[in-house]
Structure formats: structure tokens, C-alpha cells
Amino acid sequence: MTSPTGRAPLVSIGVPAYNAERFIAPALESLLSQDMTDLEVVVSDNGSTDGTERIVRDLAARDGRLRYVRQPVNRGGAANFNAVFALRHPGASYFKWAAADDTHDPRYLGQVLEVLRSDPSVSVAHSLTDDIDEDGSHLRSWGDQGLPADDPDVAVRFAALSQRNYQCFSIFGLMRTETLVGTRGLGYYAESDRVLLAELSLRGRFVDVQEELFHRRQHSGRSVRTHPTARDRIAWFNPDLVGRPVFPEWRLGQGYVGALLQAPGLSADDRARCLAQMGRWTVVRGPHLLRNVARTGADVVGGRTPIRHHA
């Protein structure tokens, strides 16, 4: 897909969707209404059984910057996130994911784009976030989470993003396509968005525009509500793991270490300092690692299915 000028779009926005008919129209309209118009929006439908396809095709008929692709089967959330990135226009210089229920202020894209263009040390640019309800009314402001993801020291950034408890808003930030291509993408295991953010922190700083331009919608159908526990969320990230023994904390640790070992451009000292943080991570998460082993062992011995599937 090309931009209205006939060139490749400057920005590609990927929207992974599944049974999203309730909120996908306002979500897409907020993207297509951005002040910065040199963009494409690609929707990857993970086999929806509701009216998602009809809604998106109707919008695409009115705006040539919107493209709809239907996946033949539902392979899980992680696969669809990676699929919509693969579907981007190859000439797009920047990429962002957008959820099928959140909305964006019209100024969002122009402001975060300016952050990336003006500072090569930044790998992810986003804005402050607030929560809205099902009708779009304001619920709460998140403000600054106190996460030093903008610190110039890579070890400080990596430690924060691998060890602190935080809201993963930045996974929906704007990134340089070449930076994201150099990562391993979203892993096919629960909480892999945290690993990807930590991996991106090894490549640059995270900077938020200090205005609430990103509106996260709270509703009963959000994946974190329909899949409330880490074990439940495995089914959302990767249905192929359903019924198999899984060790979510171990997979998470392996993801962080793998990101560190494969990150390009790190000095030996920086890599060593980041790896030392994983030693601290292992100590802090030790009880969780042991519980993973104990619980999976009990499931296997008792003949129980280790995780439940949620379609």
C-alpha cells in the first residue's frame, strides 16, 4: 500500500484484532484522523467470528490508507502482533502497534514522530496515558510511572524494564522500523511484551510526550480481564501451549537473557552490567521460579491440564 502521494507511507500502524466489533471503529477512526496523514493502518484479523470484518472493510472502502487482512486461523495474540508487523509496507520508516479498542488524540502521531526524528538516542516514543470507560469518558490519569526508561545508562533502563512492575504502555509507542526489525519480536509466551520492551531498551531510551494523547479503554472484554492470571494468559499469547507443562517465570528469564546476549552494539562492560542485573532478577524471582516447578509437577502428577484454553 502506498500513501496518498504515491510513495511508501512514512508510518505504518498495525492493529491486531479478534472479535473487536464493539470498539474497533472508533479506534481506527482515531488513527485515520491523525494530524500527521502520511500513514497506513493495517488490520490483521485473527479469525473473528463477529462483525469485525464488515466494520473494517466498510471503513477501508472510505479511506484507502486502511487495509484489512484476515488470518485463516486464530494462532494467538503473539502471532497476530508479529503478523501485522510483517504486513507493514516495506518502505515505512516508522511502525507502531495499536490495540483495536484504544483511541489516540489527533496530535499523537505528529508529536511522537518529532521525538524520534529529533533524537537518535530514542528507540520508543509514546505519550502519557489515561484510561477511558466503554463510553469514552475519562476514568483516571496514569502520569509518569517513575520508570527510568529514558535514562542514558543502558543498564539502568534494562534493570527497570526487566525487574519493576509497570504498565506496558510503551509497547504501543512509535518505533523506527529498522530498530524493531533487529529484535526477536513478540515471544510466544505470557508477558513477552515486557521482554520486547526490555530488548528495545538495549537499543535506546524511551521518551513520553508529556500530554495525555493515548487513551486506553477499560472494558470487560480486555484480554487481561478475560485471562486474569499468568497461566491463563499463556492461552492468549500462544494457544499451542494449552495442555502442555509451562514454566512462565523461566520463559520470562530466558527471554531477558536471550535479548541481552543477542543485542547488537553493546560494549562488553554494558553487557556484563546488564547480565549482572539478571543475577538480581533470579534472586528476587526465586520463589516464583520454584513455584513454577512445583505447580507444574503437581499438575502432571495429578493428571490435570496445566493451563486452560480461552478461545
CB neighbour list of residue 13: distance below 8 Å, 6 or more residues apart: 31, 39, 40, 41, 42, 95, 96, 97, 98
Q: Are 202 and 264 in contact (CB under 8 A)?
A: no
Instruction: Give percent of the chain above pLDDT 90.
Output: 75
> CA-based Rg of the chain, rounded to a whole angstrom?
19
Sequence ranges of the domains in the chain: 8-100, 229-302
DSSP state of 170: G
CA 126 to chain centre: 12
Homologous superfamily of 8-100: Spore Coat Polysaccharide Biosynthesis Protein SpsA; Chain A (3.90.550.10)
pTM, 2 dp: 0.89
**CB–CB of 30/104 below 8 Å?**
yes
Tally Cβ neighbours within 10 Å of residue 93: 17
Per-residue pLDDT reduced to its tens digit, 172-219: 999 999 999 999 999 988 889 999 999 999 999 999 999 999 999 999
pLDDT digits (tens, 9 = 90+) for 7-57: 899 999 999 999 999 999 999 999 999 999 999 999 999 999 999 999 999
